[in-house]
Amino acid sequence: MWLMMKKLLILFLGFLGVLTGCINSGETNSQTPAQFSKSSLKGQYTYRLVGLLYTTSAQVPYAEAGIFTADGNGNITSGTDDVVENGAALFTTSTSGTYSIVDDGTGYIILNNAAFGTITLAVKLASSSMLYIIEEDNANASGVAELQDSSTLSMMPGGAYAFKIHDRATASRVGVFAVSNGAVTGSEDILAAGVLNDNTGNPLTISGSLQTPSAGRGSGSFSDGASTVQFEYYIVNANNIRILRTDSGLVSLGRAEAQSGGPFSNASFSGSYAFGSRADDIVTVNGVNTVGEISGDGNGNISGGVYDSVRDGTAYSGISIGPGTYSVSSNGRSLLNFATAISSSVQQIFWMVSPSRAFFLSNDPNKEEDGIADLQQSGTFSNSSLSGSYAFVMDGFITGSYNVDGLGWIQGDGAGNMTWNQGVNDGGVFNSTSGTLSGTYSVGSNGRVTATISGVSQANNDLILYLISNSSAYLSQNVSGYEMLGTMDLQ
């Protein structure tokens, strides 16, 4: 099935010249400084995607991850591709291919998959070490590729790692595991079918093992006593691991990052944290998309915050957070309890990667929600904080209609004016927007950005961004009926 659908790509596009024109409209934008080329993509990269494959009779959820090597001259010389389709076991095959990058970082990668046929990815480089990707063909999927550190490709991970894994329409889990000579031990919180930790009230103990990686890719598993997680893992560097769960019947991606700054205490959660999260709820998969900012005072009190969310097609804008309290354990597990303008009782469980970063889930029986929170790097933001060209990726769906993935660039001039250019996959058909579009933005002191881009897919494309720093942000499309969530990074 996968092979047949992937091969339809070439029939649809016809030839590579059409492909390039779809992404770039045959030109680069003069406002973007020339800085990228084929040589910007060089070395071994690990990538991951999650989304839907379209067949003649169904939408099939899938997750895909792997490794490819770019030679800096437009060729993918080798690679390994791992795919899990809903209800099927892991399938692994080899790849090779070609790629093209123009000066604004836009381009494409064509992977000639030995088993599945041709896979074509639209790409946007944030840097030579990270690029956002979406599928161009008869699938809606988005993700990221990251340059692997060649010195760590055969190195067994060691030490403590905070992790986050999302099982599509099934569960959210966050926790910490320690690796010692391949043995895995740790703790996790898991929300599955609306139940936290099998109703135990305490985090679950996990144990398992990792196999030594080969060429940047390895296998592992762990069990919490109630369920077992089997996965392939991909080394980014000594501090970062990416995860593709391989259990049959599940579509699941995750990540693990080395802990630092422990032992932790209430003082570890101090300052304002920008966050982005997504949930599968009782209505639909990916039905809740949220971005926001939450502040801790270092003494166990949540001192404020705000968030914006679209839930099952309804937009909620500028919802206040607080008052509340929190407590941080020495292993980084943190319980946050607070009120919002629309709920008197919210509990979130944070696992600290460091005092500046955390993975979290929401203890809510009506949704499986998880996300990432990052310490904001400025005490006060302003319009000048958004200046330069930012690569972005967004994905989601239009309520009652088709799935959407988009990537491109956003440019802020530091004075409230914005331009936008993107390529979009609407329901498995890739198109580019009609040239560069203009808009305006306003940055609040807390890093909350409101922006309007005219003429994207409706009269006004209203965006909400929460700045982590002047160079990165979480973003969402704050329009009723549009469930879109993403990230952006300064190029």
Q: Does 10 share its domain with 137?
A: yes
Distance CA 65, CA 80 (A): 9
* Domain assignment of residue 185, given as a range: 151-258
Backbone angles phi, psi at 168, to 5 degrees: -55, 125
Position 354 in a domain = yes
Q: What angle do CA 279, 283, 284 make, to 5 degrees?
A: 55
Q: What angle do CA 454, 459, 460 make, to 5 degrees?
A: 50
**E strands, 298-344, in order:** 301-311, 314-328, 333-340
pLDDT for position 168? 94
Q: Does 19 share its domain with 144?
A: yes
Beta carbons of 356 and 371 less than 8 angstroms apart:
no
Distance CA 146, CA 148 (A): 6
Which range among 12-16, 76-80, 427-431, 482-486 shows the weakest confidence by mean pLDDT? 12-16
Beta carbons of 303 and 368 less than 8 angstroms apart:
no
Cα separations in angstroms, 471 against 17, 387, 474, 485: 33, 9, 11, 18
Q: Does 217 share its domain with 88?
A: no
Q: Does 193 share its domain with 282?
A: no
Write the DSSP assignment of 249-263 as a string of letters: T--EEEEEEE--SPS
382-431 pLDDT, tens digit per residue, is: 999 999 999 999 999 988 888 999 999 999 999 999 998 989 898 888 88
Q: Does 8 share its domain with 124?
A: yes
Q: Does 44 share its domain with 143?
A: yes
pLDDT band, residue 358 (cuts 50/70/90): very high
CATH of residue 366's domain is: 2.40.128.120
Cα separations in angstroms, 156 against 69, 163, 212, 252: 21, 17, 5, 23
- Does the pLDDT of residue 23 top 50, yes or no? no
Position 480 in a domain = no
Position 471 in a domain = no
Q: Does 206 share its domain with 118?
A: no
pLDDT band, residue 249 (cuts 50/70/90): confident
Residues with Cβ within 8 Å of residue 132, at least 6 apart in sequence: 123, 124, 126, 142, 143, 144, 391, 392, 393, 407
pLDDT band, residue 114 (cuts 50/70/90): confident
Residues with Cβ within 8 Å of residue 128, at least 6 apart in sequence: 36, 40, 41, 42, 147
pLDDT for position 455? 67
pLDDT for position 433? 59
Q: Does 61 share its domain with 94?
A: yes
Q: Does 292 share its domain with 335?
A: yes
Integer-rounded Cα Rg, in Å, for the chain is 21
Distance CA 172, CA 190 (A): 6
pLDDT band, residue 298 (cuts 50/70/90): very high
Residue 398: helix, strand or coil by DSSP? strand
Position 483 in a domain = no
Pairing verdict, β 171-180 and 130-135: unpaired
Average pLDDT score over residue span 119-136: 96
Distance CA 447, CA 470 (A): 9
Distance CA 253, CA 166 (A): 6
DSSP assignment letter at 40: G
- On the CB side of 212, how many CA atoms lie within 13 Å of its CA? 3
Beta carbons of 280 and 50 less than 8 angstroms apart:
no
Average pLDDT score over residue span 3-8: 34
Terminal alpha carbon distance of the chain: 38
Give the residue, 62 or 459, on which the prediction is more confident: 62
Number of domains in the chain: 3
Residues with Cβ within 8 Å of residue 26, at least 6 apart in sequence: 20
Position 463 in a domain = no
Q: Does 291 share its domain with 227?
A: no
Q: Does 250 share its domain with 348?
A: no
**Contacts of the segment 321-324: beta carbons below 8 A, 24+ positions apart:** 321/292, 321/294
- Does the pLDDT of residue 2 top 70, yes or no? no
pLDDT for position 21? 30
- Does the pLDDT of residue 29 top 60, yes or no? no
pTM for this predicted structure? 0.91
Position 328 in a domain = yes
Please state, for a pLDDT cut of 70, what percent of the chain lies above it: 91
Helices vs. strands in the chain: H and E counts, helices first: 2, 34
433-483 pLDDT, tens digit per residue, is: 557 889 999 999 999 999 998 865 554 678 999 999 999 999 998 888 889
Where a domain ends, among 88, 114, 148? 148
- Does the pLDDT of residue 5 top 90, yes or no? no
Q: How many CB atoms lie within 10 A of CB 433?
A: 19
Q: Does 33 share its domain with 138?
A: yes
pLDDT for position 223? 97
Position 133 in a domain = yes
- Does the pLDDT of residue 10 top 70, yes or no? no
Where a domain ends, among 148, 164, 183? 148
- Does the pLDDT of residue 231 top 70, yes or no? yes
- Does the pLDDT of residue 199 top 50, yes or no? yes
Residue 105: helix, strand or coil by DSSP? coil
- Does the pLDDT of residue 151 top 50, yes or no? yes
Where a domain ends, among 124, 148, 172? 148
Position 397 in a domain = no
